[in-house]
Structure 1
Amino acid sequence: MIEVAAAIIEDEQGRILIARRKPGKSQAGLWEFPGGKIEQGELAEDCLRRELMEEMQINIAPYAYFGVNDHHYGATHIRLIAYRARYMSGQIALVDHDEYRWITTCDLTEFTFAPADVKFVEMLQHSAS
């Protein structure tokens, strides 16, 4: 099993940051909440701070556990651990993605998300209604 952290990053207007996986990556063309693999001995919150700096050149502040989703991509089992986070600083520069958007929870249905992220999309939609 691979442990992966995902950040549900909010800006000052309450919008959420999503990013699209670029061609050549697994789940290419699908949208996700950004994050990455948790290294051995690393806390999910620390992983998110590190990954968002590496992948997007931004500083975030994870502040609340959001949920977990065990998902199987064929023989690969991932445990996706989500945290809510605040966008703090930095200009977004994409590494593993080819596009990003700041959206409201109402806009979530307009995007096709990676299967492991769908549970968190549904949780966000439910909490908004």
Structure 2
Amino acid sequence: MIDVAAAVMVNEARQVFIAQRNKPQELAGMWEFPGGKIEEGESPKESLIREIKEELGVEIKITRFITESIYQYNFGKVRIFAYLAELSSGEIEVKEHNAASWVDLAELNNYQFVPADVEIVDQIKEELN
């Protein structure tokens, strides 16, 4: 199983930050909450802070755990640990995605999310409304 940590970043306007994948091919063009693989010896939170710094060039403050999502892709099973987070410093620079956007909760249904993130979308819409 591939363990991943994801940040559900919410701004003062209660918008959620999402990013459009560019790989692998079967997920390219779909949207996700940014984050990445948890490396050996890292906690999910440590991984998430590192990944957001690498992918977006910003520091985040993790406020709490939201949910865990498990999905079986054709390339393997993925388990995502999703955390609510906020920007603590820096300006977002999209480095590893095709695009990114701050989106109102009501607009999340207009985006095609990677299958493993759909459960997270449902959870945050319920919790943040």
Q: TM-score scaled to structure 1, two decimals?
A: 0.93
Which SS does the other structure have where 1:36 is aligned?
A: strand
What is residue 44 of structure 1 aligned with on the other side? 44
CA deviation string 1:47-70 (max 9, x = no partner)? 111001100101111110000011
Could you tell me how far apart the structure 1 residues matched to 2:124 and 2:117 are? 11
Q: What is the identity, as a one-letter code, of the residue corresponding to 2:100?
A: Y
- The residue type paired with residue 40 of structure 1 is E
Percent identity over the alignment is 37
Provide TM-score, normalisation by structure 2. Answer: 0.93
Measure the CA separation in 1 of the matches of 2:93 and 2:128: 29
Structure 2 match to 1:35 = 35
- 1:37-116 → structure 2 map (5 Å cutoff): 37-116=37-116
CA-CA distance at 1:12 after TM superposition: 2.1
SS in 1 for 2:19: strand
**Which residue number corresponds to residue 8 of structure 1?**
8
CA distance in 1, matches of 2:41, 2:121: 28
**How far off its partner does 1:75 sit?**
4.5
Superposed CA RMSD: 1.2
| Structure 1 residue 46 displacement after superposition | 1.0
How far the C-alpha of 1:125 sits from its partner, in A, is 2.1
The Cα shift of 1:128 comes to: 4.3
Aligned to 2:126: 126
Deviates more, 1:92-101 or 1:26-35: 92-101
Q: Which runs of 5+ in 2 are unaligned?
A: none
Q: SS of 1:118's equivalent?
A: helix
Any unmatched runs of 5+ in structure 1? none
Q: Matched residues in 2 for 1:82 and 1:50: separation?
A: 15
C-alpha spacing 1:9/1:128, structure 2 compared with 1 (3 Å)? closer
